[in-house]
Amino acid sequence: VVHALIMRRREVLVLALLQHFLPATAFVVNSPRVRAASACVGGASATCRLTQAQLARSNRQGSHLCATLIGVRTLRAAEWGGDLAKEAQVCAQVVQTASQVCLDLASKMKMADESLGKEMSAGDTQVGMSVIKTGDSTPVTAADFAIQAIIAEELKRAFPNDRFMGEEDAADLRENAALRAMTVEIAQQYTKSSEAEIMSAIDSGVEPPRGHGERVWILDPIDGTKGFMTNQNYIIGLALVVDGEAVVAAMANPRLEEHDVPSIMVAVKDKGLRYWPASGSGPIPAQLTPALQEKKVSWVVKMESLAKFRGPTSQGFPMTELNENGPPWLVSRPMTTGSPMPFGPRCIPDNVCCGAMIKYWCVAQGTAAGFIQYETPLKSWDHACGVLCVIESGGKATDASGNPIRFLDRTFDVDKAVVCSASDAHRNIRLALLDAAKY
């Protein structure tokens, strides 16, 4: 039907049909006739949405089809996310802003040299831009503080009754005038708040739990700050948690912007995972860089071939003997402790720096088959959004005993490890990861 209408130059009816059957989709239309007849928003991109009156006016000869379409369903975009659609939209928008903050500051920073581990030294920092946190040798930047202030204020406006939890507080800023000045300068590009209000917004992230039934937004302004300072990977992560369960989450991967692919993933409990662009509205179709797409297809096809022709699911060919034929996988474990080898001693984990969230990102997008996160207790802001994104991508995320992950406070405990597997990872890959996580 669409083809016949196109051949008869009935572009407006084509748009009407697409909007009827795909109501949650915004269509970018290049036809001048459709632009003239449609309600277009978004400037040059001209995302079009027909009103009933415009549809009827523009298609007098097709009045029967118009009446049928209008009678069945009003032609308007349905919001993705169900009852949590607003939360999903706000979540995406604030991490879009945070991505821009990071990119702006990164353009002014001198990048430090790469090194192993998550610790850095004072020699890696820059006056007014970054410092080493007291007591744990990890870095924090003006972008971390500014993002926390900006997002805390935006969430307070959108959801005034919700609690906010952030990784940072303003203590380091009070002791470092240069860093405080840079933080305020960055934040005031996005907010009209005073310095005192910005400091207060940052400190709002340490409010204690209010009790049963509360909604709390959990933010890691930059997960993998070392990656941010060394021009490697880092993620901005935000999640809405209700009674310990993550129900909305967004992860932004700003470095993907240079590759012209979606740089933000958003998950809503029981609604799936969607992607957003670095700026503008979403959801938009998922897309990987050519190299990542090849990596994803490669391991999935390899695993399917092995299962068909060599039987890795049988007792005669256990997963621990895959070695070079094993899938890509990730692990986060103290450097003093050796890594487990779920797929054999020669199937070593990929090296993806920095932080836990970039590893959740890889599993959710399917470029890694799984991820084991050791240590307990863990920090909620490092994991809440990643766990939900993996689950809503079709994968699995539990502790080593298969229990769900709960985020009841600033830290949480798990049985030995968090174990994630991608949607394309068959059952025995997951079982091998779970088994390895117990040691």
Q: What is the pLDDT of residue 386?
A: 97
Q: What is the pLDDT of residue 115?
A: 61
Q: Is the dihedral of CA 238, 271, 73, 54 positive or negative?
A: positive
Tell the burial category of 61 from Cβ atoms under 10 Å away from its Cβ (0-12, 13-18, 19+).
exposed
pLDDT tier for residue 64 given thresholds of 50, 70 and 90? very low
| Choice among 27-41, 327-341, 395-409 with the minimum mean pLDDT | 27-41
| Choice among 20-29, 214-223, 421-430 with the minimum mean pLDDT | 20-29
pLDDT tier for residue 67 given thresholds of 50, 70 and 90? very low
Concatenated DSSP letters for 294-346?
Answer: HHHHHHHHHHHHHHHHT-TTSTTS-GGG-GGGSPPEEEE--TTSPPP-TT-TT
pLDDT, tens only, 171-187: 989 999 999 999 999 99
Q: What is the pLDDT of residue 303?
A: 79
pLDDT tier for residue 48 given thresholds of 50, 70 and 90? very low
**What average pLDDT does range 176-201 have in this prediction?**
95
Q: What is the pLDDT of residue 139?
A: 85
**What average pLDDT does range 84-106 have in this prediction?**
95
For the ranges 117-126, 135-144, 403-412, 424-433, the maximum mean pLDDT occurs at: 403-412
